Structure 1
Amino acid sequence: MELHKNKTFSGFVLLGFSDTPHLILPVLCFFLVAYILCIAGNLFIFVLIMSQRQLHTPMYILMGNLAFVDVCFTSTIIPRALYGLLSGDTHISVHDCFLQLFLFLVVGNMDCFLLAIMALDRYCAICFPLQYHLMMNKRTCISLLAFSWIFACLQSTYCTWLASSQLLCGWVIQHFFCDYPIIIILSCSGLSVTMQTVDFIENSIVTFSPVLLILGSYVLIIRAVLTLKSAKGSIKTFTTCSSHLTMVILFYSTVIFMYFRPSSIYSPTYDRAISVVFAIINPTLNPFIYSLRNKEVKSSLKKILG
């Protein structure tokens, strides 16, 4: 990475919420409370699933991985943001910025892949109940997770390399963490047309391939449910999918707004607001939306509490 005109460059400046000083204290309190709730809720779910043998099934292994990813997601962003809010130090080194970018992309991609694998798991369970344990066993589940982690790391490495190789004309990031589009905006000339095309196609494939898998799974699930003669069975089936659908809608609505909107409507204020939902509120709500509404998780919790 270089800076235009060979100016001395020691790192980036994260403006964060410094342009709205009257909001710093409320934002600090909100970040702190949300982070504690997110870590406590997701770690609790992760430890509960890992410690209870009856929960060592593909569905709950995926749920445990989602909890772990959510902990990593918020921990990549919030501690540094809290430090900046408390100390007033808005400087972040080049190494720390691109490390944060890499980790953020890895866990963000894993969120996409996990939601898709969970949709596939629900499809197998509902449409092929008798063959479910053959189609989605532990080995298959772990293989899908391993492939997802490897692919997420490779894709994040590419994006981080692309961002770090740009010739920069500035060092002020109008955000509270290092994000890919914002660093690209600092580039003197932006990406070439070829690189823009490659970058857009690659990011679209990574983001929307899981969406297509999710949509396809639910089309087949709905078709299978409509063939059920029992209304009670249909309602029960839709209930088991409602939590997952809620998570998918929350996650992808913010992702699409953040990364697939025209550059002409870019606004640092809106980006920060959406990032708060995307990186803090969603991971905090996930244990309550998904895990704590699950009967077997609640049963295991009651068992532990005696």
Structure 2
Amino acid sequence: MPENKITSLFNIKYPLIQAGMIWASGWRLASAVSNAGGLGIIGSGSMYPDVLREHIQKCKKATDKPFAVNVPMLYPDIEKLMEIIVEEGVKIVFTSAGNPKVWTKHLQENGIKVVHVVSSVKFALKSEEAGVDAVVAEGFEAGGHNGRDETTTFALIPMVKEKIKIPLIAAGGIGTGRGMLAAMVLGADAVQVGSRFVASHEASSHPNFKEMVVKAGEGDTILTLKELAPVRLLKNKFYQDIERMYQSSPSKEDLIGLLGRARAKKGMFEGDLEEGELEIGQIAGLIHEIKPAAEIVKEMIKEFERAKAEVAQL
């Protein structure tokens, strides 16, 4: 595969990036994806500062390839996380859920490439203005926290491509080589894949959750809790509880009370499939097997190349 804007920016073999997902993306997954030629990401959103340091150090021992850290900017101890990232010599940071202007310059002054995750053209332009090195444009098919506008990846990528000059990474509903090719035909320089890597051996998510992802079909996920922060979930008892509450026109405080604390940890990390919050993308309907991360990368690239050859004959 020839070098492009993203592979040269990150010094990786393939334009394939593993998303930094809470409770799933520890050092084992990040290093496995990086060793396979993609860009692995440690998801710091579920980590205390000392835990993040441990994951970075273990990742550095497990791979000599580039890897990144994802930092949701709503994190309460973000200053400590950023300090650790700089101290440990991390070279790439993906920021999300916040204003990219706050940390971009500081990180770049410390030799770090910065990528910001957006869900709209407006925020892509704000990110470019803030000086980031690239953006991830994520359609509403994606799992976890999501954009309010419900713009699909197929619509979002060409609209963002039309407006920005910096490299563009597509995310949301991509978990196959064919999906990867489609996103790049629409103008993306690379893809970010989350849900497919949840169902990998190296993901730190609970085996119960992985099995539920594999069993999920079309229509088994839904975007909800828009009043707090839109999130795509598998339909389980917790989701049914949300639906029942909506029937009585709940206040924002009512929804916060139902959500409580550590609901995502309960579901994705501890494996409580009834009371836990199970965040996954619509692409779950195409995930049928739990595999090693390296095998997922290999299969996606092989399918990408095969599909590219088929398209050339159309």
Which bin holds the TM-score, normalised by the shorter protein? under 0.3
- State the structure with bigger RCO (CA 8 A, min sep 6), 1 or 2: 1
TM-score scaled by structure 1?
Answer: 0.25
| Greater per-residue strand proportion | 2
| Greater per-residue helix proportion | 1
